[in-house]
Amino acid sequence: MASVEFLRTDRLTRQYGGLTAVKDVNFSLRNDRIHAIIGPNGAGKTTLVNLISGREKPTSGSIIYKGEDISQQSSAKRVQAGIVYTFQVTSIFRNLSCYENVALSVQRSLKATQRKFFMVSESVIANHVSKSLGSVGLSGKENQTAGTLPYGHQKLLEVAMSLAAAPELLILDEPTQGLAQAEIENLIALILEITKSVNVLLIEHNMAVVFSLAEYVTVMNSGTIMAEGTPSEIENNHEVQDLYLGN
């Protein structure tokens, strides 16, 4: 697969009152690498991906996805275009079954015309749901109420929901937060599997996870990009070292 830039931001800026959470950011994603964003609390990581997914609108600047300016598009439109996002905090419907959660996500990813067609075709949805649950290792949990799953499984369910939306870009905001070590290792294996067919953008505080997964790393601080490069370049960057040592 040739290396292609499929998403870029151009001087992307988001202000909240007097605070500039993301400032003049030129950020680029290519299709041939797992990309991680790291940086201290409040650096602007979640805001940047919220702008990319459409949960937030920019104050100024633009987002270009596969040649098209999507800056003003709704997040629903972007999901249909393949930009799918999992939240920093779990966002499953706790009272619905695992099956229903994933089926909703399939529905949401379909365009209105397709939705009409798929309404009559429950078997197509069922097929997507079982494939998605299977790929995260939750086969057999279809009828379990999502809120009763152990936390690690809720996170996996969330990944299954994202995969069911057939993403081209899957944005994972701190997917390992709150997971035990064995669950983290499982999730790393799962993400490596996913990235064979989906571009992954990962926000992550756990450096062991970043360095075992990412092929390219963007470091954010105070709303701007302070460094970018391969994991080893980032590890050896003195400014980044100072940032993390708090000097």
Ligand X SMILES: Nc1ncnc2c1ncn2[C@@H]1O[C@H](COP(=O)(O)OP(=O)(O)OP(=O)(O)O)[C@@H](O)[C@H]1O
Q: Which residues contact ligand X (rule: CB under 6 A)? A: 16, 19, 21, 39, 41-47, 88
CB atoms closer than 10 angstroms to residue 179: 19
Q: How far is the CB of 26 from ligand X (least distance, A)?
A: 17
**Residue whose CB is less far from ligand X, 88 or 97:** 88
- The distance of closest approach from Cβ of residue 85 to ligand X in the complex, given in angstroms and rounded to an integer, is 13
Binder of residue 21, out of ligand X, Mg ion, none (CB less than 5 to 8 A by kind) = ligand X
Angle (CA) 229-230-234 rounded to 5° is 65
By C-beta, is 44 or 167 nearer to Mg ion? Answer: 44
78 binds, among Mg ion, ligand X, none (CB under 5 to 8 A by kind): none
**Cβ of 41: how many Cβ atoms within 10 Å?**
6
Helix axes 122-135, 151-164, angle to 10 degrees: 130
Residues 204 and 129: their CA atoms lie apart, in Å, by 27
For residue 151, how many other CB atoms are within 10 A of its CB? 12
Identity of the residue, 13 or 145, whose beta carbon is nearer to ligand X in the bound complex: 13
Residue nearest Mg ion (C-beta atom): 46
43 binds, among Mg ion, ligand X, none (CB under 5 to 8 A by kind): ligand X
> Could you give the angle at the alpha carbon of 116 between the alpha carbons of 115 and 119, nearest 5°?
80
Q: Rounded CA gap, 54 and 72, in Å?
A: 8
Q: Nearest 10 degrees: CA dihedral of 176, 178, 181, 183?
A: -70
CB of 46 to Mg ion, least distance (A): 3
d(CA 43, CA 244): 12
The entry of Mg ion, ligand X, none that residue 44 binds, CB within 5 to 8 Å by partner kind: ligand X
Residue 61 or 163 having the CB closest to ligand X = 61
Give min distance, CB of 106 to ligand X, in A.
28
Which of residues 72 and 222 has its CB atom nearest to Mg ion in the complex? 222
Taking the least distance from each CB to ligand X, the nearer of 30 and 205 is 205
Q: Name the site residues for Mg ion (rule: CB under 5 A).
A: 46
Cβ 190 to ligand X, closest distance in Å?
22
Cβ contacts of 206 within 8 Å, gap of 6 or more? 176, 184
Q: How far is the CB of 208 from ligand X (least distance, A)?
A: 17
